[in-house]
Structure formats: structure tokens, C-alpha cells
A and B are shown apart, each in its own frame.
Chain A
């Protein structure tokens, strides 16, 4: 028994019929082929699957695709505009905010939302804002510096 959904992802409209139990992350990855967003824990703790749903950072491993119908989703693949990296992407590259890169798409999307809400966050605010995203490689310090850099870049 499949259900019709209509979702706009990275500016493109998609109509599909999916099982009601299909998770948003699997819809994005397996149906649309947008594999940039990752599954890290399946329990909404690690944040590797973070995407923007109508501008809100959500964990796509614990949302059904049918719940996202009618909404606009932005994934990591949709952050760069016209070939220009998003300031947060620039920041992560500039400040070595990633090592293995697996948490990175979720971390970058969460950071982008953080800066949307607070254009000039303190280090503590950045750390608090990224509590829902785990990174096992960096120890977070370079991530904090990456977000600071992005804030400066975006503010220019």
C-alpha cells in the first residue's frame, strides 16, 4: 500500500508513491539518489542525516517521507548556489572542519541553520547549537573555527 507524496528537494519538485514507513533519509538517498546525507545512528542522536525542512534543521532518519509531503527540503547537495560554496562550506574547507567527512553534511546543514538564527554566534553558542551533531574525528575545535569563519564571511 503506497502513498503519494509531493516534495520539493533542492528546488526541484518530486512526486512519488512510497511506502508509508519509508524514512525521509531513505527517500532522499535511495529514491532520489541524493547520497550526500548520511545515516549514522538511526536514533536521531548523531545528526549525520540532518537536512533542512522548510528551513528547520531536522533529522531525516526519524521522519517518514510521507510526513515531509508538501514541504521544501534542502540537503547538502543544495547548499551551494550556482557553483558557489555556502559560507559554511567555505569555512569547513578553510579551517579543516572535517576529517573523514561522514558527519560533515549534517554538521554543515546544522551550522547553516545556526547562522540563520544567529549571524554572529559566540563559541559557546556554536558548541551549544551543534550539540545534536556528533563528530568522532575533529574534536569539534576546527568545526567551531569553521563556523566562526563562515559567520565572518557571510557578514561581509
Chain B
């Protein structure tokens, strides 16, 4: 099939509505008589709720109803956790706190009022009688003891897990060197620019509930909400309109989503809740939150022989959908891009009086990559070897794929050395090292950091997933020849309306603008899984491709019938089925039956095929719908559905090299160069891939230098607004020099591996590595994130 679109830099079809302010996010959907909901949230990290007095609030004008935990305890099921780990303790997570509040931001009461101002007024009039209890905040303390959060469990340990292959004790005992290091992966707030939002409407006559939610997983949400609220799943419709970023924070099922649906059913009017930013940082999942200890064993030549990671995972007070599973992903990826014969992870997942951690862009894999890449740097430092050489020495060769790791994975394909080589050439690594020498001689603090990451993407086979790892697509050609693609993936900024249209337009030989991709509406789209884990294109795009192939098989049969020819004598090219003998004469562009904008007449025209040597796929679609001239035993209509189940994950990889300079006077970090060579397999739209990589890298910069969710010892959230939680700004990030290598995956016929999380996974250790390298003249071997100017300044100035 000739590629007119796939592989090309195609401008996004979703952009015209977005750049003109005409798109609809949840808060932009306005239904008549909508009531607004605001929440009373705990101001304490751990407190007994003695009583809630809302008598004054009820008198306030506009207030319609106030609900507390007692009202919903029996009627709304717990917030679900989909992780199933052996011995996992799962607390009963109710949508509103009843007797105790367990984190700052824990919802206690929901106020419904005529408008958002009145609802917030009423919240301020509600008085909660709290009895503050001692809080447990530090994860390592939580593992040891201290105040118990869930009394029925006896301690704060939610689970312990050990995994890995190879004899780690022997590997470390026989190593020439063993290097140990404590590492902190600080808590991060995902901060999608659009906070969460829910709108719910109930039609009592039809018994139908519609929930608009800013989510990444409309179908999974529908299933879970149906179970929580007790409404039949087929009477519940979840719609995700435009979603303003997710980064994993909307890959969840939240208390507010169930509550809004339930309240709409109680009141019979639409209800809306739009999360404020303060609520968002308090009550939307956080990411990372690991404190770990690594032990890496190596030979004197730099060969790594074993890696052990003993980690305390800060889970927060309750499990959200995937909370306990995130550290297991860390364990899976501890081999990084290297042949490490013995690997072990020991996870202790702990409850703390904080919001739950869960999947934030990368979800456990950035932690693994950070551990492995920092370990490589430590080995290089210990042995006086170059950071890129140690990495190269431990790579599996391209010919060794599929490559089995001591974490139990089989990497699909890779050529790690090619990416490293390319990145080194682009940045002129040898010259950069010389420049560093010269800079140091002048007393300047120049550092170079490297990361040769690998990630696990396109999640994934269903056996490895809690709720199915496949993705679905329906492709149909309408009577007028327009193509509709329904995808179960639910993109929210990644651009699949464009990239899936590229796939469909090429496969069907139609114009890109004649394809519409519909997603995020359970009332329209067949069941799907959603967009997360860099899966939408690799899994969902493949479903689109195969659905089209199925559709074309049928179209081919009909075309043969129309042309009165044998299948062997008909070929499909550029949207047209032609008799091979007449192929040369049939060259031309396929056209929709009706021009754009012209409404079809009540009676559709008959496709004119008599005596023709070719028919367009639009002619075939019309014939299929009119069904007057079909081959025997052929179903009318022209659509096909496919559910694609991948047999393995994919493993994208790459090399990032960064050069920084630290200001001796201020500790400020200046980026000199940032080079990224990423390999995400085949590329559908290089412009979109670049965008994903760049955005990911900048989120890594955020983790490396700026971002941290800080709770004080009492569990008060100190970084509760964007005044305190520092996101990278345009002026703080470098120009990123991007390139690619292309190693297709054999896991799907598109050869696509996925790219959504690459930057966030690959970049962080390179940046921290560069800072450590810059400060190595001061004996610095490791720095914990976020590496603030103050930290660097103190190191520089304490030893001057």
C-alpha cells in the first residue's frame, strides 16, 4: 500500500477546534438547570470526625442538598483497586470519609447548589468537629511502625514482594566491587493543565445515567461506576469530551465520579463538579514516591553482575486503581538496557497519611530507569571508566534479541549501541569531554550526563493486565463514502485522531479529511481499554489496521461482484478496485459519492458499475448499503470490528546525553546541550513523536530540578498550589536536539512501539547524572531530586 500519509508530518485534524477555542472540555458542556457540587475536604492528615454541622450551610441561598459519608456508605461501593498482589491489604475506601479522615483533601461532604459560588459559600459554612490524630508521613517510618492508619491491618505495611531471577546473593558476593546507594524518587503531582471534572445527568424515565468525565479510560470507568453505583452497565454512558492532559492521573476511578453520578440520580437534575487546582494537588493521584537502596555488583572491567533494589513505596492512605502495582513495574524494568544476570527487587508498600500514589507518566518505569542508569554511573565512577563505555559494555547485541532479562521479560527488538553511537556523534561526545576538561581547568562546573534507557510500552498482553490488554476498533464506510473509525483508545492530546486517520486514509486510499476518528463515548464506541502505558497507537492503531483489512476483504468480494470478475483479476490500489487488465487506465483519485457539505438526497443514487473496469471503495460502500447487487450470502453494510490482543509488550529505547553548567555563585543550572536519540519503532507521524518526546523530557526536567509534593511532619500539604509546586516554564528548558533510530517491533504489524512516556523515563537520570558529573570535583557521587540550586550552592560553598 502506497503511503501518502503514514510516516509523514501531517498537521493534526483535531487542532482547528482547539486553536479557535471551540473545543469542549467537561466544564464547557452546559446543560440546562445544572447544579454545582463542591466538597468539604479534610484539613488534617489524620483525624477522627466527631461530627459535621451543616445546619447553617443548608440555610444558605441556592443550596439544594448536602451529603456526608453516612448518606452514601450503604449505597455507593468502595473506590476500586484493580491490583491483585499476593497478601495485599486493601482498605475499604469509601467515596466520603465517615469516622476518620486519612489525608489532607480526603472528601468529607458534598454540597450541591445552584451555582459554583453558592456551593463554595456553603462549604465554608460547614463545620467539622475533628479530633486530630498523630499522622505517619515518612515511608520508612511507616514500614517500621508508628501510628497505624488502618487499625484492622495492625501495621502500615500493605504488602511485601520479592521478585527477580538469578542468584543475587552469590552475584554480589563474587563481584569485584559492590556499590551501595540510597535513592529518593520524590512524590510528584501530574498536574494535567485541565483539572478533573465530572458532569452527570440522569433520565429517570429511561433509567439512563450519562457521566461526562475527564478520564483516560471511559469504558473501564463505566464498568467500575456501574458496580459502585449499582446501575446496570448498559444504562450508564460515559463520555470523555476533550481531555486536557492526563499523564496517568486520569487513568483512575475516583470517588467524585461515582458521587456525581449518584447525586444526579437522587436529584434528577444535571450536576457538575470541576476540580480546583488546590483540590487537584490534594486529591488527584501523585506519582513516584519511592525511597530505595541499591546494591550493584560489578567486575573490575565494568561488567555488571548483579543488582538489588530494596524499596519502600509510599502508597498513601488508600489504594486507587493501580497504586500497589506501580512498584512492580519498577521491578520488571530493573535490567534496563543491560545484560544483568542476577536481579532482585524487594518492595515494601506502605500506607502513609497522604493522597495515593499511582500511575504518573512512566508509572514505575522512570524509577527503574533512574536506579539502573544511576547504578551505571556509580560503576563508571567507581572504576574510573567512561559512562558511555560502561553502558556499551553491558548492552545486549542487536543479534541477541529477543532478549530475556533476569526480571522475566523478553525484550522484542533493539539496537542499543546504534542509538548510543548516534547520540554521541550528534553531541560530539569526545570533544564535549575535552571541553569539560578545559572548563574545569578554568574552575567552571560543566557536567555531562548519559542515559541509555529502555522502556516497556504498548501495554500489553491481557495476561499481564488487570482488565484486558487489547484494544478495539470499528471501521465503517458510510453510504456517502465517508470513513468512520471508532477506537476504544481514548487519546487526550496525543493526536490519534490524526495518526489513526493517517493509517485509515492510506489503507483505504481516501483523503485524510474524509476520515473521522471517534473515541471516548461508551454509547457510540465498542468496548475499549483506553490510553495509557504508551499503548494507543501500538495496540489501538493496530486494531484499526486489522479492522480495515477485514473490511477490505468484504469490499473486495463486493467489488468483484460488481465488476463481474474473479478475485484474482481484481486489485485494490489508491481507493479503487480495478480489473488488472484495465489497471493502467484506472489511475485516478477516489472521490466520495457526495461532495463535502452536500447533503445526500433522500434516495441515494445507484452506483454506476455497468461495463466499468473499476469501482471506487465508495462505490462499493454505497452498493453494500443499498444491498441490491451483492454477492450471495453477503451481509449488507460495510464495516468491520477488530479487537487486537498483543502477544508481548514492546520495548522502545534510546540514548539521551545532556551537558549542563552549574553557576558557582548561585547554584543555578544552565543547559548547554540536550541530545535525544529515541527509537520507538515505526513512526506514523514524526511531528507527533517529536512532541511526545519533548514534552516527556520537560516533565523529566521538572522531576530532576523543580517538582516535589511536600507534606510536613503533620501531613499538611505545603505544595498545594502552583505557587508552591514548581512546574518548568518556557524559559527554564533547553532546546532539545532530537533524532531517531528505527527498530520495528515484531509484536504488531505496524511495527510501532509507543513513545508517550519515553522522555519522562529516559531523561531524568541523564540530567541528574550531568549534575553529579558537574560536581564530581567536590566528591559528589549522587544527588537526590529535585536538585535545587540551594543544594548545589551549599555543596560548592561548604568545601571552598
**A-to-B contact residues, CB < 8 Å:** 19, 21-22, 26, 29-30, 33-43, 45-46, 48, 75-77, 79-80, 85, 89, 92-94, 96, 98-105, 108, 123-124, 126-128, 130-131, 133-144
The binding surface of chain B is classed by DSSP as loop
Which of B23, B244, B245 gathers the greatest number of chain A CB atoms within 10 Å?
B244
Tell me if A100 and B730 are in contact (CB < 8 A): no
Q: How far is the CA of A102 from the CA of B14 in the complex (A)?
A: 13
- B27 contacts A35, CB within 8 Å? yes
B747-766: CB near A (< 8 Å → 1, else 0) gives 00000000000010000000
Contact of B193 with A46 in the complex, beta carbons under 8 Å:
yes
Whether A134 and B27, one on each chain, are in contact in the complex, defined by CB atoms closer than 8 angstroms, is no
B194 touching A102 by the CB < 8 A rule?
yes
Q: When the two chains form the complex, which single residue of A19, A102, A131 contacts B730, counting CB atoms closer than 8 Å?
A: A131
Q: Is B25 an interface residue (CB 8 A)?
A: yes
Which residues of the partner chain A approach B28 to less than 8 Å between Cβ atoms?
A: 29, 35
Chain B residue nearest in CB terms to A91: B19
Centre residue among B15, B727, B733 by max chain A CB count within 10 A: B15
Interface of A is mostly: loop
Interface residues on B, range: 35 or more
Given A93-B19, A99-B245, A139-B736, 9 extra CB contacts under 8 A: A19-B117, A33-B30, A36-B21, A77-B20, A102-B192, A102-B245, A134-B193, A138-B695, A139-B695
Which residues does B use to contact A, with CB under 8 Å? 11-12, 14-16, 18-25, 27-28, 30, 115-117, 191-195, 242-247, 274, 276-278, 492-495, 687-688, 690-691, 694-699, 721-723, 727, 729-731, 733, 735-736, 759
Known: A35-B28, A102-B194. A142 touches B691 (CB 8 A): yes
Q: Is the CB of A100 within 8 A of B21?
A: no
Contacts of B688 in A (CB 8 A): 96
- Whether the Cβ atoms of A139 and B21 lie closer than 8 Å is no
Instruction: Name which residue of chain B comes closest to A109, CB basis.
Output: B21
Instruction: Given the known inter-chain contacts A46-B722, A133-B730, please indicate yes or no for A92 contacting B19, CB distance below 8 A.
Output: yes
Q: A33-B30, A100-B492 are in contact. Are A136 and B695 (CB under 8 A)?
A: yes
A138 proximity list for chain B (CB < 8 A): 691, 694-695, 698
- Whole-angstrom CA separation of A58 from B759 in the bound complex: 33
The distance from the CB of A11 to the nearest CB of chain B, in whole angstroms, is 15
- Please measure, in the bound complex, the distance between the C-alpha atom of A79 and the C-alpha atom of B787, giving whole angstroms: 41
Given A104-B18, A127-B730, is A93 in contact with B117 using a C-beta cutoff of 8 Å? Answer: no
Residues of A within 8 A of B733 (CB): 139-141
Minimum CB–CB distance for A94 against chain B, Å: 7
Contacts of B495 in A (CB 8 A): 96, 99
Please measure, in the bound complex, the distance between the C-alpha atom of A70 and the C-alpha atom of B733, giving whole angstroms.
Answer: 39
- A contact residues around B723 at 8 Å (CB): 43, 45
Complex CA distance for A77 and B19, rounded to whole angstroms: 9
B698 near A140 with CB under 8 A, answer yes
Contacts of A48 in B (CB 8 A): 193
CB distance from A29 to the nearest CB of B (A): 8
Of residues A39, A75, A85, A128, which shows the largest number of chain B Cβ atoms within 10 Å of its Cβ? Answer: A39
Please, which residues of chain A bring their CB within 8 A of the CB of B698? 138-140
Provide the bound-state CA to CA distance between A90 and B350, in Å: 50
Residue of B nearest to A86 (CB): B19
Per a CB cutoff under 8 Å, which of A38, A43, A80, A104 touches B722? A43
- What residue in chain B is nearest A105 (Cβ atoms)? B21
A156–B99 alpha-carbon span in the complex (Å): 67
- How far, in angstroms, from A131 to B731 measured CA to CA in the complex? 6
Distance A38 CA – B25 CA, assembled complex (angstroms):
9
29 pairs across A/B with beta carbons < 8 Å?
A: A33-B30, A35-B21, A35-B27, A39-B27, A45-B721, A93-B12, A93-B15, A94-B11, A96-B687, A99-B493, A100-B242, A100-B492, A101-B19, A105-B21, A123-B735, A127-B729, A130-B730, A131-B729, A134-B722, A134-B729, A136-B192, A136-B245, A137-B493, A139-B698, A139-B733, A140-B694, A141-B694, A142-B690, A143-B730
- Distance of A135 Cα from B245 Cα, bound (Å): 10
Tell me if B12 and A77 are in contact (CB < 8 A): no
How distant is the Cα of A45 from the Cα of B719 in the complex, in angstroms?
A: 14
Query: Within the assembled complex, what's the spacing in Å between the Cα atoms of A133 and B276?
Result: 18
B20 in contact with A80 (CB, 8 Å)? yes
Question: Given A41-B277, A100-B193, A100-B492: A136 and B721 within 8 A (CB)?
Answer: no
Docked Cα-Cα span, A102 to B735, in Å, equals 23
The 3 closest A-B pairs by CB, nearest first: A36-B21, A102-B244, A100-B493
A140 and B730 form a contact (CB under 8 A) = yes
Contact of B16 among A40, A93, A103, A126 (CB under 8 A): A93
What chain A residues lie within 8 Å of B722 (beta carbons)? 41, 43, 45-46, 134
